Structure 1
Amino acid sequence: MASWNQRTVAKRVSCTGVGLHSGRPATLTLAPAPADAGITFVRMDLGVEIPARNEHVVDTMLSTSLGRGGARVATVEHVMAALHGMGIDACRVEVDGPEIPILDGSAAPFTCLVQEAGVKVLPAGKRYLVVDQPVEIRDGDKLARLEPADGFSVSFTADFGHPLITDQSFQVKLGERAFEREVARARTFCFRRDIEKMQAMGLAKGGSLENAIVVDEFSILNPEGLRFPDEFARHKVLDAIGDLALFGMPVVGALVAVKSGHAMNQALVKKVLADPAAHRVVRVTGEADAPALRAKVPALAIHEGSAA
């Protein structure tokens, strides 16, 4: 039954790093939250709480930023992906500045934080957003489509316009620790030619080979190379999982993405939420509900027996 109940972290855990775009030092703390609280970002320096939902998205240039009452938290997608991938429904994400620390550029450090904290089962059933009809956003050759499916899966395809990373694609079905094994360690990336341009825009001030894959015209500059042959596509899947986590609950559906990014992902979330015929929210209120929902979402009974 634990897999069908909401979950939070069992204790407070923290990490410190720098913001990828701001370059500012940042300390992040994951803290327990009660049932039905959802994920909430807390600007500790300002005393402002920002629910992790699509309605609070204020910027999607190179990352996803949330805002409320003049306060912002930037680059939320990696920690959101980790919380979603680890089955966490309720959590306070406390940060002492305007950006989440980038750490190694992947979601793996955040999954490690959840593992360090442990997981506490809450006395309320999970809620799921079930996709009943396909919804899509198109922009030229770019596509983001969410369609009915059993469980939650993400596929991403793109040609990054570079001889080392043309026509990459990756697909994953969440559940059975697939996020930890196949997605979490994939790092963010950039092209060397774009770094000066981003820095002129006030971005990428904290970027380095320690927290991003950097590609020049002919090679990957990171001395350790890639963690996966298709790490670029895997990271785009990671980003998409983090973006779709701003539904505020796990999704039962399949995301098909072609060259999409944060802006298109959030436009898709908004479009789904605006169409009552395309989705419904299902809550598991007890073990009696689980068999019927399990038939529809077998992949979402994750981390069985791992909760405290």
Structure 2
Amino acid sequence: MAPSAFQHTVQGPAVFAGVGVHTGAHTRVTVRAAAPDTGIVFIRTDVTDRDNRLRPTGEAVCRTQLGTVIENAAGVTLSTIEHLMAALVMLGVDNAQVEIDGPEMPIMDGSSLPFVQVLDRAGRRAQSAPRRYIEILERVEVRDGDKRASLAPADSFETAFEIAFDSAAIGRQRVDLKMDEAAFRKELANCRTFGFLHEVEALRAIGLARGGSMDNAVVIEGDRILNPEGLRRPDEFVRHKTLDAIGDLFVLGGPVIGRFEGVLAGHGMNNALVRALLARPNAWRWRSLVLDVAEAV
């Protein structure tokens, strides 16, 4: 599927609701159309005493423990945006106003598939402005011990990820994919988040995982998968980490033309990579496919 040369927004409102995996708060979300060049804007409708608009940028990411949290200058936060962000960028939704009445995006089933489905029902509408891509010109890499993440030049968007866990339920997994909308739908969208049973109580003690269950995560105990239905794919774990990375990269403000590689990485490394790229303006550029066509003519 060829990348689009023009921006898109949703055709009609996309409405859904659910529980936040960490806060346990039930929230309702409405994704509405937005004008060209707006980008993605989150609006906390439950906040009325200060600025309630949040833009997902690299600098706005304030926490990355088990999810991506953004914050605005007024101190308003929104948690766990990455699964919706992945669906938006891979379905080609450049501009949208996302209204939410609570502090955390619903986890739904733990994957991006429910977001894909509601966006499909809402439909998409082409806009007159050219889509702007982030084209990677030079390799940028961040490391933390044996963890690393990088972006490198490529002709299209490519993703590679590798994970390793002591649990035999996961082990070492690697996936390497050329990524477009069709590939995202087929290879990644339905892959769920995961966690270990022994970590749940510790997480709840610090205010996390309060809404987590086997309805919205793959739960592992020792070497066993506890979910009665099992896995959706044998390597669902590494595919979900790839999905997370795609959502985390969209805080750059546009889809990427380049190759992402992650090894044992998570949300923190993904954001460190975003910030490292933004700190090296010669390593990337904005690119419009409309201008490419005009130049070819």
TM-score by length of 2: 0.95
Structure 1 counterpart of 2:55: 51
Q: What amino acid sits opposite 2:208 in the alignment?
A: L
RMSD: 1.6
Task: Give the gaps of 5 or more residues in structure 2.
Answer: none
Q: Are the aligned partners of 2:139 and 2:153 in contact in 1 as well (CA < 8 Å)?
A: yes
Q: Is 1:194 aligned to residue 199 of structure 2? A: yes
Q: What does 1:1-308 correspond to in 2, within 5 Å?
A: 3-47=4-48, 48-68=52-72, 69-175=74-180, 177-285=182-290, 288-289=293-294
Q: Are the aligned partners of 1:151 and 1:253 in contact in 2 as well (CA < 8 Å)?
A: yes
Instruction: Indicate the SS of the match to 2:282.
Output: coil
Task: Give the gaps of 5 or more residues in structure 1.
Answer: 293-308
Q: What amino acid sits opposite 2:71 in the alignment?
A: G
Instruction: Indicate the SS of the match to 2:65.
Output: coil
Q: Deviations over 1:1-57 (max 9, x none)?
A: 992100010011211100000001011111101100001111111151111211211
Aligned residue pairs: how many?
A: 292
Separation (CA, whole Å) in 2 of partners of 1:163 and 1:206 = 26
Q: What amino acid sits opposite 1:9 in the alignment?
A: V
Cα deviation for residue 291 of structure 1 reads 5.7
Alignment CA distance shift 1:289-1:54 (3 Å): farther
Q: Are the aligned partners of 2:90 and 2:181 in contact in 1 as well (CA < 8 Å)?
A: no
Structure 2 counterpart of 1:297: none
Q: Which runs of 4+ in 1 moved over 4 A?
A: none
Cα deviation for residue 163 of structure 1 reads 1.2
Instruction: Indicate the SS of the match to 1:270.
Output: helix
Q: Are the aligned partners of 2:91 and 2:181 in contact in 1 as well (CA < 8 Å)?
A: no
Separation (CA, whole Å) in 2 of partners of 1:134 and 1:77 = 24
Alignment CA distance shift 1:2-1:185 (3 Å): closer
TM-score by length of 1: 0.92
Cα deviation for residue 71 of structure 1 reads 0.7
Q: What amino acid sits opposite 2:198 in the alignment?
A: R
Cα deviation for residue 285 of structure 1 reads 4.2
